[in-house]
Structures are given as structure tokens and as C-alpha cells.
């Protein structure tokens, strides 16, 4: 179904584009999702701290607004702007998140854990709470939370990140119960290895360490995950895709990864 056709069905015959809000949209999965939804007829509103990058993602048709999900007032101002411009939200994609460090619990760095909780958990809660009144004004609403296989698997050194992604999974499932009976769908998309800036951030800018994560295999791309988002939000309104787990073929679980030998550099 093309964008205009989908918008017509989605809004019950009104020829108005549905509004999709995407957080953490300056790069990676968020940017790819915004672009993909824009191509499917959504009016996109993108938020992130790196506003200059957001402008390129939003293009001429979209709206780029500054957003730091770790600051509640920033979330409130972002939603106030969306309210003034549109008065409703049809789709909220809680994508902002990420990992910091890979230390065992015995060597945990407080600032890294606090940063992960604020970005992945509190930020998701603040955004969802602030956007729910606007989602309730739409004919059909949809919340898509970008989780991770770390939400149901664990690995050495990953306690901080797996803890927050387990929390995202719990929040998503709880929302499904709390919003049951309302025309608001809830979906979690849990990717495995996706080659984005994720590992660069995790290793505090160490590009060599980040590249090693993906060596010897073909990881998912941001566009692969964006395809999943497009799929779930374009189902008929009575269909809720509760969750999608998506990994590269080479990854059986978080630690079982088939890697091809790489040539030694001379």
C-alpha cells in the first residue's frame, strides 16, 4: 500500500498523513526509521540532541526538534511543540537508548549505569507518559519500543545494559496490559547485532574496538530494523504485533556468533 493509501485507511478515510514521532533520530535506527516512515506517507517528527543531523533526516517535509530524553523538561518542551503543530500523535517510536561500557559488576562505573538508566528507561517513560494524551487523540495510536535481545539474554560485562533492556521489555509488556481496551497498539522490536554508532558510543569513541564487534559477519543494518517498524505500524488497526526479534543469520544468541576468519593485516 502506498503512503497516501495507507494514510487514508489509517485515519478512517481522512486524506491526512499520520504523524510519527521518532526519538534518537539523528543517526542509526532512528534516522533510518524516520526516512522509511516518511516514504510510507507519515508526517515525521524527529527528536535528538544533534539538531544539525536531524535537519538532514527530516528533510523538507518533516519536522526536526531538539530533544534530550534524559532531561524531563526537554521531553515536555518537545511534546508541547508537537501538540501545537499537530494536536495528536499516531505513532511513537521510542528509539533513543544505548550502552555505555563493558565492565563486570565488580568494576561498574556509576556514571555509565546512571546514563544508561536515564536514556533507556527514564527517557522512555517520560516520552511515553507525555505522548499518551496525544496518542489518545488519534483514531489509532501505536507505541513502538526499540529494545534488544539484551532484554531477555545476558552476557559477561553487560549487566548495566541488559538490566535497562530487561526494563524496557517489562515496561512494554505492562503497557500492553494497561492500555488494553484502548485503540493503542504496543510493539517491542528486539534486534541483535546492528552496525550503527552503537558500539562507538559504548566504547567511548574507540572505533577500533567498535569495528571488532562486527568483524567476520554481516550484521543487521539500521534499515533492516526500520523495515520491521514499517511492517508493524502498517498492519490493519486490529492487528498488534506484540514483538519482533530480529538477528543476523550468523548470530544464534547474544554470545553465539559464527564469524569468518579475517585476513591478518600486514
d(CA 50, CA 25): 9
User: Which CATH code for domain 3-246?
Assistant: 3.40.50.720
* Phi, psi values for residue 13, rounded to 5°: 100, -15
Distance of CA 232 to the CA centre of its chain: 13
Model pTM score: 0.91
Question: What confidence score (pLDDT) does residue 215 get?
Answer: 87
For residue 34, count other CB atoms closer than 10 A to its CB: 30
Break the chain into its structural domains and give their ranges.
Answer: 3-246
Q: Do residues 116 and 160 touch, judged by C-beta distance below 8 A?
A: yes
For residue 204, count other CB atoms closer than 10 A to its CB: 11
The dihedral through the CA atoms of 18, 170, 33, 47 has a sign that is positive
d(CA 261, CA 241): 37
Per-residue pLDDT of the chain (266 residues; tens, 9 = 90+): 444 445 544 554 456 899 999 999 999 999 999 999 999 999 999 999 988 899 999 988 999 999 999 999 999 999 999 999 999 999 999 999 999 999 999 999 999 999 999 999 999 999 999 999 999 999 999 999 999 999 999 999 999 999 999 999 999 999 999 999 999 999 999 999 998 766 666 666 767 776 777 888 999 999 999 999 999 999 999 999 999 999 999 999 999 999 998 765 44
Query: Of residues 10, 140, 155, 161, which has the active-site annotation?
Result: 161
| Residue 10 annotated in active site | no
Amino acid at each position: 500500500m502506498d503512503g497516501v493509501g495507507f494514510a487514508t485507511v489509517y485515519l478512517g478515510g481522512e486524506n491526512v498523513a499520520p504523524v510519527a514521532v521518532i526519538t534518537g533520530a539523528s543517526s542509526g535506527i532512528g534516522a533510518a526509521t524516520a526516512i522509511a516512515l516518511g516514504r510510507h506517507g507519515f508526517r515525521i517528527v524527529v527528536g535528538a540532541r544533534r539538531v544539525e543531523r536531524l535537519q538532514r533526516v527530516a528533510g523538507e517535509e518533516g519536522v526536526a526538534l531538539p530533544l534530550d530524553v534524559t532531561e524531563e523538561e526537554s521531553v515536555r518542551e518537545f511534546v508541547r511543540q508537537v501538540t501545537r503543530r499537530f494536536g495528536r500523535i499516531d505513532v511513537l517510536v521510542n528509539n533513543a537508548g544505548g550502552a555505555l561500557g563493558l565492565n563486570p559488576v565488580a568494576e561498574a562505573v556509576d556514571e555509565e549505569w546512571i546514563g544508561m538508566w536515564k536514556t533507556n528507561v527514564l527517557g522512555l517513560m517520560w516520552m511515553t507518559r507525555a505522548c499518551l494524551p496525544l496518542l489518545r487523540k488519534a483514531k489509532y495510536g501505536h507505541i513502538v519500543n526499540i529494545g534488544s535481545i539484551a532484554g531477555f539474554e545476558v552476557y559477561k560485562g553487560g549487566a548495566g545494559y541488559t538490566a535497562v533492556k530487561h526494563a524496557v521489555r517489562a515496561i512494554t509488556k505492562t503497557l500492553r496490559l494497561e492500555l488494553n481496551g484502548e485503540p493503542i497498539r504496543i510493539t517491542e522490536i528486539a534486534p541483535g547485532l546492528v552496525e550503527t554508532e552503537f558500539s562507538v558510543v559504548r566504547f567511548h569513541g574507540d572505533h577500533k574496538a567498535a569495528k571488532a564487534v562486527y568483524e567476520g559477519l554481516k550484521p543487521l543494518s539500521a534499515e533492516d530494523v526500520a523495515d520491521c517498524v514499517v511492517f508493524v505500524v502498517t498492519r490493519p488497526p486490529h492487528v498488534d504485533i506484540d514483538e519482533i526479534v530480529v538477528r543476523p543469520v550468523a548470530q544464534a544468541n547474544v554470545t553465539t556468533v559464527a564469524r569468518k576468519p579475517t585476513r591478518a593485516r600486514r
